[in-house]
Structure 1
Amino acid sequence: MNDAQVNSIQKDLSHIFKETNDFLSLKNKKIFITGASGYIGKWLLFSFAYLNNIKGYNIDVIATSKNMLDCDIIKYLDTKDKFFFENIDVRNPFDIPSDVNYVLHLAGCPDRRLHASEPLGIISTNIDGTRNVLNAATRVESLEKVLVFSSGLVHGQQYIKENRIEYKPGDTLNFSSSYIDSKRVQENVCHIYSRQYQLPVSIVRPYSFIGPLQQLNRPWAINNFVKNALSNKNIKVLGNPNTLKSYIYPTDMINHILTYLISDNLDTPLELGAPYSIRLKEIAEIIRDNVKSPISIEYFDAEAKSVKQDFICDVLNNKNDIQFKDAICRTLDWYRLN
């Protein structure tokens, strides 16, 4: 990352925050974040820094993760001594300062490569880590709300076959279940703490994102498409090209998270996704059409009959401002700045 890319992120954030006072209730608050070195965490840190520096919100942030002090964005954050960074592994008990107002529990890893190589660690982070966060939160005197970030994958999988949508529950006898099923247990743990300990805890279910700060080496189709296109290499569609995916841009993501954070809603999870889907081949074509060099699209599973799609929730709690084509253009432009 460089200064030009940071300025681009600031410009994106100005579209959310510059002309609104919707988040004024965050002024002078103290926020504790786990998993702050991940994708959502980084965008939250840039957002809180923007609110402090441009809007004068005076938000104190304690940003933690297993390797927080090695996070690459720390040097780019103009924190004005309002941010404190700390290495915390949520699998071990810890304390949250008693004057914290909001806790955002983001710790976890959606990278399916780690689901296979470290399944027990994934399970422990999602379940033991969540219990440790919620136990610590019960001792916080000034607590207003806890957000626990689960996953849209808890809904299971949808397939389209012969123009019918079929639901397929998760298979517990594979490594990917170490993440998905422990996320389901995580949600149940939140429910227990809410009912038995009257803890103000709410659940966020993220789906898929595309935008600046994505790690292009992650094993997801759109990341690989963007990475290849920027390297002037052919885009390789390894799965069924008719697979349906849904994405939102990070400014919409941040807007929805902060709106939900300061709301009175404690019972209805935030379904952090898009109300529409787009085929894998269309994604590849849009990316191809927005790069200058002539590249081709290679298909490797074009004859598959069943079509998998991201779970499209019947009720999404949000409206997205950045449409998919615009999100792709913004993403490509951001990486070109490097």
Structure 2
Amino acid sequence: MRVLVTGAAGFIGYHVCERLLARGDTVIGVDNLDTSGDVTLKATRLSRLKAAPNFGFHRMDIRDAKSCRELFEGARPERVVHLAARVGVRAPTSEATDYAETNITGFLQVLELSRQTGVGHLVFASSSSVYGAGTPLPFSEQAAADRPLNVYAVTKRADEMMAHVFSHQYGLPVTGLRLFTVYGPWGRPDMAPMLFLRLMLEGRPIVLHAEGMMRRDFTYVDDVVEALVRVLDKPPAGPPPYRVLNVGRGTSVAMARFVDLLEERLRMKAWVELRPAQPGELEVTCADVTALERETGFRPSIPLEQGLARLVAWYRGREG
């Protein structure tokens, strides 16, 4: 198939592209290579993808209407994986406009062009942060998700609702994936797994908010890619042809325990600073993946211990 992947130089985008290329798909990668993340890491991921003959890359911003239209009309993708976004639950409200322009206006453009060019299935990344305050555990897709705690969550919930409209009105097959704390090789340097790993090896302090008692559903990137590709290959039947699915391990781990596991794999002690909880963050995340397993026959299974061992091995190999 011809698959358009936005955010191709990002953490998850890179792994998705690799998987699609390996199975023989033609991948059209899109990324604006913005400076909000590690630019060197993005460039390295991209250079590895460019080595594949069935990969083409377009440096562009999804907010650029003219460039987006030209790309969709020229490439005519059969499937679209939309991962481009401004990310981060700790984004200040002062940056709300930029988040809205990228995550909402940009996605609206992708929806409209997917409709106009007859895309067979659009899969986009949502987030576990949409569940917000007061959601019963484990998080189910049937929960209201109407009390967000941060701007990022608002934009992702808006994306889900816009996608439903396009699916309902135009029959566009769309799936939103609510991803739960994805980690692994080539990961985001600002997220706890990569950040804590680097700080420990540099002998610098790790900050644990909520006294280390926050709990997260850590999901290894290979499990996320497996789920995404299976979903991509199986558009929702409908009506309307729309669904939202959790992608997580279904197991919640305290951040203090996460540090313990990292210490075991690095064979060194962490320098930990305990601080109060920050506003805008959920105390606990835990996915109910019943729907994902029902739809695809797959549920994420790589335990945190194994995933961290792989991450540490990759990091040490890359640094060495």
Smaller-chain TM-score range?
Answer: 0.7 to 0.9
> What residue is the counterpart of 1:181 in the other structure?
154
CA distance in 2, matches of 1:230, 1:150: 32
Counterpart of 2:302 in 1: which secondary structure? coil
**Cα root mean square deviation, aligned:** 2.7
- 1:60 pairs with one of 26, 36, 45: 26
CA distance in 2, matches of 1:82, 1:117: 41
Structure-2-length-normalised TM-score: 0.80
Residue identity matched to 1:121: D
Pairwise CA distance, 1:295: 4.0
C-alpha contact (below 8 Å) 2:217/2:252 kept by paired residues? yes
Counterpart of 1:75 in 2: which secondary structure? helix
Which runs of structure 2 are paired with 1:103-118 in the superposition (5 Å)? Answer: 103-112=80-89, 114-116=91-93, 118=95
CA distance in 2, matches of 1:125, 1:187: 15
Is residue 84 from structure 1 mapped to residue 56 from structure 2 by the alignment?
Answer: yes
- 1:321 pairs with one of 282, 288, 301: 301
Residue identity matched to 2:235: D
Pairwise CA distance, 1:238: 3.3
Structure 1 unmatched ranges of 5 or more: 1-28, 52-56, 161-166
> What residue is the counterpart of 2:125 in the other structure?
149
> What residue is the counterpart of 2:219 in the other structure?
248
- 2:200 pairs with one of 198, 205, 229: 229
C-alpha contact (below 8 Å) 1:158/1:311 kept by paired residues? no
Pairwise CA distance, 1:232: 3.8
Is residue 74 from structure 1 mapped to residue 51 from structure 2 by the alignment?
Answer: no
Q: Deviations over 1:202-242 (max 9, x none)?
A: 211112112101132x1x44443222222244544233322
C-alpha contact (below 8 Å) 2:123/2:177 kept by paired residues? yes
Which runs of structure 2 are paired with 1:304-315 in the superposition (5 Å)? Answer: 308-313=283-288, 315=290
Pairwise CA distance, 1:293: 3.4
Pairwise CA distance, 1:112: 4.1
Pairwise CA distance, 1:326: 0.7
**Greater share of helix residues, 1 or 2?**
2
CA distance in 2, matches of 1:136, 1:60: 19
Segment drifting more, 121-130 vs 92-101: 92-101
Structure-1-length-normalised TM-score: 0.76
> What residue is the counterpart of 1:35 in the other structure?
7
Q: Number of matched residues? A: 286
C-alpha contact (below 8 Å) 2:251/2:286 kept by paired residues? no
Residue identity matched to 1:268: R
> What residue is the counterpart of 2:315 in the other structure?
335
CA distance in 2, matches of 1:156, 1:125: 21
Q: Deviations over 1:138-196 (max 9, x none)?
A: 2224x321112221211113589xxxxxx99225xxxx32x211221111111111111
- The 3 A distance-change label for structure 1 pair 300 and 49 is same
Which runs of structure 2 are paired with 1:96-175 in the superposition (5 Å)? Answer: 96=72, 97=74, 99-112=76-89, 114-116=91-93, 118-141=95-118, 143-158=119-134, 169-171=147-149
CA distance in 2, matches of 1:295, 1:153: 28
- The 3 A distance-change label for structure 1 pair 65 and 114 is farther
Identity of aligned residues (%): 21
> What residue is the counterpart of 1:23 in the other structure?
none
- The 3 A distance-change label for structure 1 pair 38 and 234 is same
Counterpart of 1:146 in 2: which secondary structure? strand
Pairwise CA distance, 1:114: 4.8
> What residue is the counterpart of 1:202 in the other structure?
175
CA distance in 2, matches of 1:264, 1:74: 28
Counterpart of 1:276 in 2: which secondary structure? coil
CA distance in 2, matches of 1:254, 1:233: 32
